[in-house]
Amino acid sequence: MSTADLSAQNLSAQKLTAGKEVPVSSEPIIEIQNLNKWYGQHHVLKDVNMQVLPGQKVVVVGPSGSGKSTLIRCINRLEEFQQGDIVVNGHRLTEARNLPLVRREVGMVFQSFNLFPHMSVLENVTLAPRKLRGLSEADARARAAALLERVGIAEQAAKFPGQLSGGQQQRVAIARALAMQPQVMLFDEPTSALDPEVVGEVLDVMRGLAQEGMTMIVVTHEMGFAREVADRVVFMDRGELLEDLPPAEFFGAPRLERTQNFLSRVLNH
């Protein structure tokens, strides 16, 4: 609780000093309560608690196998969990009928893009708004065109995913998720499968999204991005959420030895 309050204050301070005011409601849009998950005997999430306020950017870091991907995959229940609850925008995930509702409001971007290979870029971006939001073909196309423009690949709309580079595919994937006009975006290691030279173009799109005030939870190994964009950095290790700090504190003065060890490994290579 205290860390969430602290970071909320920190956030509003940041926004004011930056000269643009983003309305920050004090009601969390995501609330994770005592979350526990097991794979058989293996306890992969241990009593995780976390709150995210609207407009916040939370970057989740930690060694591989720490449970950070599993955690964000629980937020739209692509992963089942055995104990605890997650409330998204007032909807409890443990009530099955809320699930489609929540998923429409929570966009997700995957490490391996997962674009639909049998559809053109345009169809990838228009399918869900047409079928799930009831947009007409023309409206869906207009929305898709604007989004593809925004992620810098308007001229590729007629191509198929297999004809694009990894960086382009991931930008289409971001556009596809945004086309549902979600309130929250989840990024599950969005740049880990990319060639180094195209990582920047995807991070740029994410930065832009952050500046527009999108609520974001990002699992990543990009420490530069975390330092620059995050309101809070969350550190996970062996299924536990160990730190939840503003980036300056997290990188400058981490409290725990495990965090220090992790940071020295990822920052000094």
Partner 1 sequence: MDFQLIVDSLPFLLKGAVLTIQVTVIALVAGIVLGTLLALARLSPIKPLSWLATAYIELIRGTPLLVQIFLIYFGLPQVTGINLDPFPAGVLAFSLNSAAYVAEIMRSGIQGVPRGQTEASLSLGFSPRDTMRYIVLPQAFRRVLPPLVNESLNLLKNTSLLSSIALVELTRAGQIVAARSYKPFEMYLGIALVYLAMTMVLSFLSSRVEKRWGAGERR
Q: Rule CB under 8 A: which residues touch partner 1?
A: 76, 78, 100-101, 103-104, 106-108, 110, 112, 114-118, 120, 127-128, 131-132, 160, 162-163, 173, 176-177, 180
| CB-nearer residue toward partner 1: 182 or 247 | 182
Distance in Å, CB of 81 to partner 1, minimum: 16
Distance in Å, CB of 110 to partner 1, minimum: 6
Distance in Å, CB of 108 to partner 1, minimum: 4
Give me the residue label for tokens 């989004």: 147
Backbone angles phi, psi at 184, to 5 degrees: -135, 145
For 88, half-sphere exposure in the C-beta direction (CA atoms, 13 angstrom radius) is 25
Query: Can you tell me the distance from the alpha carbon of 96 to that of 91, in angstroms, rounded to the nearest whole number?
Result: 10
Burial of 240 (C-beta count, 10 Å sphere; 0-12/13-18/19+) = middle
Distance in Å, CB of 229 to partner 1, minimum: 22
| CB-nearer residue toward partner 1: 113 or 262 | 113
| CB-nearer residue toward partner 1: 116 or 264 | 116
- CB contact at 8 A, 24 and 12: yes
| CB-nearer residue toward partner 1: 83 or 112 | 112
Distance in Å, CB of 132 to partner 1, minimum: 5
Strands (E), the chain: 30-39, 42-52, 57-61, 83-88, 91-92, 106-109, 184-188, 215-219, 232-237, 240-245
| CB-nearer residue toward partner 1: 6 or 119 | 119
Distance in Å, CB of 35 to partner 1, minimum: 19
| CB-nearer residue toward partner 1: 61 or 115 | 115
Close Cβ partners of 28 (under 8 Å, ≥ 6 residues apart): 4, 51, 52, 53, 87
Backbone angles phi, psi at 66, to 5 degrees: -80, -15
Kindly state the DSSP code that residue 162 receives in the 8-state scheme: G
- Residue 156, beta-bridge partner list: none
Q: Alpha-carbon Rg of the chain, whole angstroms?
A: 18
| CB-nearer residue toward partner 1: 39 or 116 | 116
Distance in Å, CB of 243 to partner 1, minimum: 27
- Residue 245, beta-bridge partner list: 233
